[in-house]
A and B are shown apart, each in its own frame.
Chain A
Amino acid sequence: MLALLSSAARHARRRPGGALLAILGVALGVAVVLGIDLANAASLRAMELSVERAAGRATHSVVGSPDVDERLLRTLRADLGLRAAAPVVERDVALSPAESTAAPAPDEVLRLLGLDPFCEAPFRPYLASAESGFAVDLDRFLASPDAVLLGAETARRLGVEVGARLDLRLGAERRSVELIGVLEPRDGFDAELLRGLMLCDIATAQELTGSLGRLTRIDLVLDDGPAGEAQRAQVEALLGPGERIESTGARVGTLARLTRGFRLNLQALSLLALVVGGFLVFNALSFAVVERREELGLLRTLGATRAQVSVAILIETGLLAGVGVVLGLVLGTALGAGLVHLVLRTINDLYFSLEVGASTLAPGSLGKAAVLGLVTSMVAVLAPLREALRIEPHRALQRSSLEQRAQSRARLGLVLGAVLLILGAAVIAAAGRSIQISYAGLFAGLVGAALIAPRATDLLLGLAEGPLARLLGGTGRMAARGARRSLSRTSVAVAALSVALAASLGVAVLVTSFRATVVTWLDSALVGDVFVTSPSLTATRTTGSIDPSLVERLERTPGIVGTQTFRGRVLQTSVGRVQVIGVGIDRARFERYLFAEGSAAIWDDFAAGRACVVTEPLAFHHGLSLGDEFEIESPGGALTLPIGAVTRDYASDSGVVVVHLELLNGLLEDERLSSFTFEVAQDASVDAVIAGLRERLAPDEDLQIRSNRSLRAETLRVFDRTFAVTSVLRALTLVVALVGVFSALSALGLDARRELATLRAVGMTPGQLWRTLSTQHALLGAAAGLYAIPLGYALAWCMVAVINRQAFGWTLLDLEPAYGAVATAVVGSVVVAVLAGAWPARRVSRSSVVEALRDE
């Protein structure tokens, strides 16, 4: 036994390259699993932070007509124990220029926001700026009846400093307040939210606006799912006359779903890493045994029993795998954390960087990676070992038996791969809403695709043979044939490479698609350049309370080039109570809807009130499709409309029905609006337009006016930090794929020394030899890279369009092509493959032919 082990040790010493490559392979497999888990954790945390920033956190608001009894706050917080409930008093105030100012300037309008700082923790994070803290005299903020705060930018624009007195006009009343502090925004996004805000204590706001005992609204954060429904019912039971609870709609819900989808896809990636890691480990170790068949045969002929040889090999494998696992854990952590920190250094937000940088691995990650490394290593050697020991010792010394085995294995792989691929697809199709089952299907499909990879590569190489021969002559043909022949030994490497490249590509496509989704969501959530709504309504879609004549008056403001109007109402329909949105839009805007089914061609029917549009979640949940009849009940009677189109929508989980505004007004028998938006000419200033709108408002017309154009830009900036973090995932998968190719093909090159020596012996020059080997490797790299393209897209599509939709009822946008990533994957794999061949070729061309052929 000892003799056998020392033989193994001698083998390792004699050929350190082989042992090293085996360790590297295991390490790489373990590292990719760990590194991706780390990058996943960081990406998810980044996404959560971005969503939290962009959304605020209120999921619902209690609003009234016109306002809410302040006693409800105590009931909610103390009796119901609802901790995330914050009172808000909100109103526009006009800032009169100081008496001393010589030239009277027009009144500046600010939004007075009264809050209770003790209830704010879950809401409005932009008020707690990271740089300065809430560096304000809290006692004065609370106790003084005239203390207010401004954003630093607003204070600068108004030319006021801390301690200044400001004269406010609220309707007919005049009040004087004192600026006791300014809030420094930590970035452009916060600055955007603070713009035009005047902040004060809730009691101060009640006194200033004369709304004693009343609140504009109470913001709430309710739980997701059934628990949230129960909470909502509890709150509803407490409401007084005229009070109602409304979902804050678009922003929070969508972003929560976006986060869930993101998390889901990251989990799938983690799974993918497991497949890639498994292949890399398997390749490294099974190759290590295959390479030593002859030696094992020799040992058997010398009298070693099967058991003895098996134990020796398993111990040896265990040692190699152990070293590889430890190295992999270190490498994975270093790679994952290192890359994340590298990316974070480019992000100029201390809080974000700290939070994301501090994200930690899930408890099981280290164990998972280690077990994968060890178990796969053992499995990897078992099959070739059994094979090597089953046959008669003398036959093990013949190479031809190996090739025969390899060929039958390739056929088996192809069949098994095809079966798994079909099985995987079937499982995903039948999985319904179970994510675990979908994942199992995805896993099976991936393994299947990987098993087919060698055959697919063979096919690609076969196709390339002719053109190559014409292009490069004999060298080209020889390279193509050599590459195909080598597949018996490189099939697992090619499979691993394909899956790793596909993963890298899949990540790129996913991230690009997620970003496109955010952009589209921003367009739909922050419609138009200027958004106007009634102040008690935080939602973009609510019951109507605005007189349409107001819109006509306001849209004459210079700079406005387009208007869209909205009205929402929950009505009984053929599928239960559904939010019905009436839209006053033109054809051009309608054409910009994201149609999942049908098209803008139904515009004429839609505008004439002869068709409705439903959103994807509604269609998905109720099994609606084009042409179905949809019934809406209303005070004005019931109406049945055909469904003309299904649109993608990120604003509502349960889905909405969209009809033309005039149709809804007809059903409700009056003309009111919930909100409207203005498009502002590209070269015009949105701020100037908003100032113009304010001038046209009478003092008692209280409307909330918001610049959506800059908010869109700043929100996207917030999200781009998240996508920057996900670039770590792309880099990681790509690096692992490329290192994997390098190690697999280097091993191949070492193994092919004798073949190369023969070629030299028959008269090939070192240059020709090098060219042949390089071309052969380049072909393998290119073939694997090309195979990875459809696989990568299929993967991304599967995650985005199938699993995501099954889980949440909505799809991301169409897959984005991500050309750059495709090019990187293919070119990268070719370059690395060539480099991997360079060293063995160089060694052979320099070594003496006789020596290389001596074993023969």
Chain B
Amino acid sequence: MLDKELRSMIGDVKGGRMDRRAFIQRLAAVGLTAPLANQILALGGVAMAEGVQTYKPTKRGGGGALKLLWWQGPTLLNPHFATGTKDQDGSRLFYEPLACWDPDGNMKLVLAAEIPSVQNGLLAADGTSVTWKLKPGVKWHDGNPFSADDVVFTWEYVKDPATATVTIATYRDLKVEKIDDLTVKITFAQPTPFWADAFVGAGAGQILPKHLFAEYIGSKSREAPANLAPVGTGPYKFVEFKPGDLIRGVINPDYHMANRPYFDTIEMKGGGDAVSAARAVIQTGEYDFGWNIQVEDDVLLRLEKGGKGKTIYAVGGDTEFIALNFTDPNVEVDGERSSMKTKHPLFSDPAVRKALSMLVDRESIKKAIYGRAGRTTANFLNGPEKFVSKNTTWEFSIEKASKLLDDAGWKAGADGIREKDGKRLKLLYQTSINGPRQKTQAIVKQACQKAGIDVELKSVVASVFFSSDVANPDTYPKFYADLEMFQIPLSQPDPSQHMRRYLSTSVATKENKWQGTNFPRWVNKDYDAAINAADKEMDPIKRAALYIKCNDLLWEETVFIPAMHRLKVEAAANTLRPVISGWANETDNIFDWYREE
């Protein structure tokens, strides 16, 4: 039904009977707005709209200095070597992609002249190729012209395994050809519904100048002088870089966008911690913008009282979740625990999993920990809107959980801990060391205790928990615990990579050195079939339905208990007008930042 309605609405937009804004509003009503709503239109034959312009200044420059505070300073300025978003953020001041994402998930043109669509013939209707037209007259900071050669070169550079880039996965399975000086064509190995990954956004999309990197492709990549002194096309020209400490730039007077940028100089300072960064922006006003202010809400509220700045929030799709282990972490089989040859002794009873999900008090977690930076949710997949399921619910009820366990035969023993057939409800719950996470653990443990489940808490240093160290038993892929909690950022406005992780073919095992992405070790044929179908599905509505189905499967089976839908938190001076998208790096829209006088 939804399907039919949507189709007729797309027809209305095409025929001019309904305007784009009304269309998006209608979609919002049925839970289908944001980034991919626009891609629905693109694939339905209506061109993707460019994001709304919010930029007010009428001349270039004159804005003085822009002082940014990144409490983890960038350590290198080649975006394709980035070990974290901080490095992408720093590089993005100088380098640019073809397009980026605005706060609503709309595409914004940067180096491209036109948004590809089926209508303008740039997007193949079967999703096997996309053609990008480049803006004419763009110059690198050193005066050389920017052309299709640079785009093709970036692809060649990144996909060479010897270059050792971290963005290789985006580029290795596609082909990039130069059609003419200002046109490139990307051909995908198979129909690709989400075609806006390569060359888009700060994460993987930043384009390098061929004339400076051509000699340093492959194993010599580390020696390129431009790794530390970027020459880009961006709004600011590079001046100085001290890894981990400071990046400085000055205005690019030949920038290709009218009246931009607003600021004359830019400075990105690194080091310190999030709380003092919040203080330097909100309370003393020493800096204009503070990145990733993961600080307790009451601290922020206190700082904001009569301060010089405020916090700002951006909605993306990051979900803090508790994963359940479907294998037995306490039994060793062929030198590995949590082996696929075992079954979890307690979680193999669905009632235990269901009861557990009723014992996570999301409202309290929001109130006590995340405050304005969180939203409660029943879903594992929380964005883009189009993919968010409306079929799920959550509730917190110790009584109902207890009843569920009683009915399933888990009776309280002498010490109050429930047991059945000699198996006691004792769980090990691990996460990385991080203030909010330890508090969440405590809230969950308390509720579980009341319901007769004994929970042991464990916290692992983040650098260990998230490492790929094969020798360490405490990493999250090994999952030598019953429950574990963290989040996996959704770094692009599309769920495909995110949801593919839990295919039954990707289980983390000793055999693949725990590189498999399916750490809950949950195996479900329906899920596999839906994901594989979605990967090839070009009809955006059917595709969204498939991902919603996957999310609902994860919910029904209680593979993950979502603890919080987290928002991005930043601090900004009251006068600064930053443009922050939950779907992109903080600096992805830096060319549109200005100060209200």
**A and B associate:** no
